[in-house]
């Protein structure tokens, strides 16, 4: 039998599958980088969700993106027919891929994706699986999680590609901020009255899952305390659907808070976080953007699952220990959200001030953003 690494070394057209959200795609970028670097002239296509595609557009190691709302993921829209699923099989067949790498969290099954690849005639298929996949995977990596502990999501995906001989030159998250987005952020900061040497930071109070949202009144109390310690402008971000939340936080926080609801696309948000001395956020996608661009982050981290903490970046991870930790629920099954509500605003204030004191960006870095981001992301 051919050793798996030898078979995979000759692949040129490679399909990577990561069907969940933007943050998950970002946490997969070190593994994608490893695959890109380990194959000569290797072309990588990412099959992902619409949310994941927005992040993939900022990942230099992804050459093409194919969108797919997989029906076996919880966030997928309701199906009225299987036409889209039949269509994706044909689209993958037309891609003439030599191999497919299926990235999942341990609570997901890789086998539906493996079946798609099998039906699309992709000969090599790599994934973690707890059950015996028989012919659905050509390279089966028995999944040690959760029985043998839970790894950080980045470590899980790096371990998967290492099975076929792919190891990256740099294990940091990868995200490249477009120059146009940086220019747009310069204009935005000037427009809201943030001068080059003003102290400022970014607060992102939203999250897709209710169980991962720190209460807005507590965010506001911490913001007021930070601004009392030293006057800061606090730029509060989120999409248009979070307008009410952001308005609530800003109203409670006072004049130091600036409402940016709906004013930034993902590239613009990445540029703003890249330039900021500090990000305060829940366990959600912007925390991983901060890790990718090297911005210190205070992460209000609900104990729903343990594997998504900020990766290789200065951070403070705040939570309140509870017996029901690692419930893996999007809505608190007990209704108390004590793992977040138990974090006092004073703890958040202290963590933010500590990181601001340590941050090399305590003065504005927009003028040097190109150099700084290249160093942080490990992009030549």
pLDDT in tens, the chain (380 residues): 456 778 899 999 999 999 999 999 999 999 999 999 998 899 999 999 999 999 999 999 999 999 999 988 876 677 778 888 999 999 999 999 999 999 999 999 999 999 999 999 999 999 999 999 999 999 999 999 999 999 999 999 999 999 999 999 999 999 999 999 999 999 999 999 998 788 999 999 998 888 888 999 999 999 999 999 888 899 999 999 999 999 999 999 999 999 999 999 999 999 999 999 999 999 999 999 999 999 999 999 887 777 889 999 999 999 877 676 776 776 767 667 777 888 899 999 999 999 998 876 654 444 444 433 433 433 33
* Bond from prior residue into 371 cis (ω within 30 degrees of 0): no
Question: pLDDT value at position 332?
Answer: 67
Q: Which CATH architecture has domain 4-162?
A: 3-Layer(aba) Sandwich (3.40)
CATH, range 179-377: 3.40.50.2000
Which pairs from 366-373 meet CB under 8 Å and 24+ separation? 366/182, 366/185, 366/186, 366/189, 366/196, 366/275, 367/196, 369/177, 369/182, 369/271, 369/274, 369/275, 370/179, 370/182, 372/274, 372/294, 373/176, 373/177, 373/274, 373/293, 373/294
Task: Say if CB 91 and CB 119 are below 8 A apart.
Answer: no
Question: With the CA atoms of 308, 227, 238 and 295 taken in that order, what torsion angle do they form, in degrees rounded to the nearest 10?
Answer: -40
135 phi and psi, to 5 degrees?
-90, 0
Domain boundaries, the chain: 4-162, 179-377
Domains 4-162 and 179-377 equal at CATH topology level: yes
Q: How many CB atoms are closer than 10 A to CB 57?
A: 14
pTM for this predicted structure: 0.90
pLDDT of residue 366: 44
């Amino acid at each position: 039998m051919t050793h798996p690494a030898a078979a995979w070394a000759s692949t040129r057209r490679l399909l990577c599958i990561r069907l969940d959200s933007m943050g998950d795609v970002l946490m997969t970028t070190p593994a994608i980088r490893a695959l890109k670097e380990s194959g000569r002239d290797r072309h990588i296509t990412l099959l992902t969700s619409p949310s994941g595609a927005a992040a993939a557009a900022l990942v230099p190691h992804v050459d093409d993106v194919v969108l797919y709302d997989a029906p076996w993921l919880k966030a997928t829209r309701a199906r009225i027919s299987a036409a889209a699923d039949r269509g994706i099989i044909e689209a993958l067949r037309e891609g003439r891929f030599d191999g497919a790498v299926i990235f999942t969290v341990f609570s997901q099954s890789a086998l539906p994706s493996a079946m798609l690849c099998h039906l699309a005639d992709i000969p090599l298929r790599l994934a973690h699986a707890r059950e015996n996949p028989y012919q659905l995977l050509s390279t089966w990596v028995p999944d040690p999680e959760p029985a043998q502990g839970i790894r950080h999501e980045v470590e899980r995906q790096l371990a998967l590609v290492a099975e076929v001989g792919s190891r990256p030159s740099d294990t940091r998250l990868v995200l490249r901020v477009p120059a146009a987005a940086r220019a747009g952020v310069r204009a935005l900061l000037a427009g809201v009255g943030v001068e080059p040497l003003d102290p400022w930071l970014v607060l992102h109070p939203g999250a897709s899952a209710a169980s991962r949202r720190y209460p807005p009144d507590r965010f506001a109390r911490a913001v007021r305390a930070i601004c009392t310690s030293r006057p800061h402008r606090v730029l509060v971000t989120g999409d248009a659907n979070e307008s009410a939340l952001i308005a609530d936080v800003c109203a409670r926080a006072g004049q130091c808070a600036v409402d940016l609801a709906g004013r930034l696309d993902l590239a613009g948000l990445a540029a703003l976080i890249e330039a900021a001395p500090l990000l305060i956020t829940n366990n959600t996608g912007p925390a991983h953007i901060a890790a990718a661009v090297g911005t210190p982050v205070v992460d209000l981290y609900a104990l729903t699952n343990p594997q998504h903490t900020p990766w290789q970046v200065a951070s403070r991870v705040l939570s309140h220990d509870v017996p029901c930790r690692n419930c893996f629920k999007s809505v608190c099954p007990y209704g108390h959200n004590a793992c977040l509500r138990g974090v006092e605003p004073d703890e958040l204030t202290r963590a933010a001030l500590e990181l601001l004191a340590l941050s090399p960006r305590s003065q504005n870095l927009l003028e040097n953003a190109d150099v700084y981001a290249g160093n942080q992301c490990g992009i030549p």
